[in-house]
Chain A
């Protein structure tokens, strides 16, 4: 126990300032009302769905949980069921074998809900494209609010995408979003 505490103290706090929302990532206008967004901003539950990625994007989504990006420090956490989720984080391309599972996960997520597509493949099919086995981009299968490009996108970009999804959009930009520490 002494060693653990010593190590924790020696390590110190690594958390960095989170990025600001970026409206250029938005695919469709913000549909949710201000009050709901404020509630989300305080505590957002994310369900992550790998719909066919190469697992590169997953590595960076894991990294979002590390001490540097500290997503839980912003009140955002990953949950085990779509029933508990406000936002789906989807990596692609959507394989045809995952198409139904993705649709069902989307349907099982209660309204109001948001979808963020992660990675070049999730945005436009990427290097895998559309084929007998791939549906291509995530928005070919379920509605998508925000896209985060990159192969894989950096943890900062992923965080930015999530924060953009819960920001109010052009309408009332200045009063929304979780306040960076």
Chain B
């Protein structure tokens, strides 16, 4: 039993990963969180759900993790006044999740230090909460005011654009599309005014960047306060790619949901699909065939390999070593092409479904992957040698964007970036679900916490993934075991799944209603935990190093904006 508390009764949830759930009153939340934190535990996710139809209450769900497993605390909040004690003083990573829980459901963290909106910009009013079950109905009543149509007259004149859009000539920076925090551009901007923290003093000025960035990157706004070239403070404003994913799940079948979850963050589609399937299978109490589990692990490791290859290439590119980009992306393209040939999709989307997998695999596939692994082992080894001996690259990598192990622990840095700052958590190691329980994964950790450390962890994990793929191939059974495709889930179920994706731990929670339909699905990306650390990593670095530091984390915007 992972947590002992007099008011907490835990029940085991799933066999795939050690997970328990328990109901508590809001008053006990703070003490239990504190106890977990003191025991070295972390916060995985925090989300809310509207259970007013079933139990006349809102629910807050807090998933914590310690060395024995996951614990999901379900906190019942009064329907009239859904408030709960702030836990961001214990887990700073909770702050943005709490703000999102308010934006989406109106659940309020009492005594929280930051109550600014987070996911909400101008597309819905404050006081209106998209994930409440009566949201659509309320919206119908006041549609004209609440949601201005996208089509029709442009709300901006060209002159206004000229006033606002000023080009930044530094190629690494993007075009500022918002004025200096005054929000004076038009109706929508006024509604969208956001109080950034101002840094004052002689010689301090701001660089607003985004939401549209200068490269091929997702949108978000970064506000730098700088003195000369030195960054004093960075503040992120995300939520630009919020496209209503969680609401969308509510009207979907289990199978449609499996497709949608694979598009929460396209670069982690395998991790999301597996976590979703794991959650569904835990509600339905089914175990997929062994062959399906081996294949899932194979796909997950291939996803890790292709993302690490891509990042290592871009890390070279960002320090002007275009050679690195060219070489690593040739390797990545070969992996993608093999994916298309063997599995029918370059990024392996929609290949994991609740109950099993949708891929064929034969001796020929095995041969192709073995050859690919041998080729990658050889080539990446050569490239690693070149990276390590390239003084220009090392000079930019080393001591840039440092997150010390102490800070990482305090703020809850997780996943790949966490492991580069000595946070030894890897779900494949500590909570090895099948087939990882037979694979004995070697965790890659490093203490320096700089860009160089994050590159080294990527190299180490890449080689480990190649080893794992070979191991999986040796264990894989070729005969088609008949999978039990999950059609529908049992009523009033609650399940969670957690998978160590390439970026970090991806968690998906599924709640079903009295008919067994999806009533709430919460996908949680590790980027939630890691975005705030980027703000710290960039302090005291120079502005031109920001793209490099950002790339070394490579966090998902879509995965956290939902």
Contact = CB atoms under 8 A, between A and B. Distances in A.
Interface of A: 3-4, 7-8, 11, 14, 48-63, 65-68, 78, 80-83, 93-105, 107-108, 127-129, 131-136, 140-141, 151-152, 154
Nearest to B158: A107
12 contacts: A3-B389, A4-B386, A7-B386, A49-B212, A63-B332, A80-B214, A107-B161, A108-B165, A131-B247, A132-B147, A140-B151, A141-B150
A143 B112 CA distance: 44
A154 B212 CA distance: 23
Given A55-B558, A61-B216, A50 B241 contact: yes
B239 to A, nearest CB: 6
Nearest to A5: B323
B342 to A, nearest CB: 16
Contact of B175 (A4, A82, A95, A151): A82
Interface-central residue, B242, B327, B386, by most chain A CB under 10 Å = B242
Contact of A131 (B154, B216, B244): B244
Interface string B321-336: 0010111011011001
B16 to A, nearest CB: 25
Given A49-B212, A50-B219, A132 B247 contact: yes
Contacts of B383: 7
Given A68-B333, A154-B346, A104 B135 contact: no
Interface in B178-221: 185-186, 188-189, 211-212, 214-219
A151 to B, nearest CB: 7
Interface residues of B, number: 76
Contact of A78 (B155, B167, B168, B215): B215
B269 interface: yes
Given A54-B264, A101-B211, A128 B244 contact: yes
Interface of B: 121-124, 130, 135, 139, 147, 150-151, 154-156, 158, 161, 164-165, 167-168, 171, 173-175, 177, 185-186, 188-189, 211-212, 214-219, 239-245, 247-248, 256, 259-260, 263-267, 269, 310, 323, 325-327, 329-330, 332-333, 336, 346-347, 349, 382-383, 385-386, 389, 556-558, 561
B428 to A, nearest CB: 23
A81 B557 contact: no
A54 B265 contact: yes
Given A11-B327, A67-B326, A135 B139 contact: no
B241 A100 contact: no
A14 B164 contact: no
Contacts of A98: 211, 219, 240-241
Contacts of A63: 329, 332-333, 336
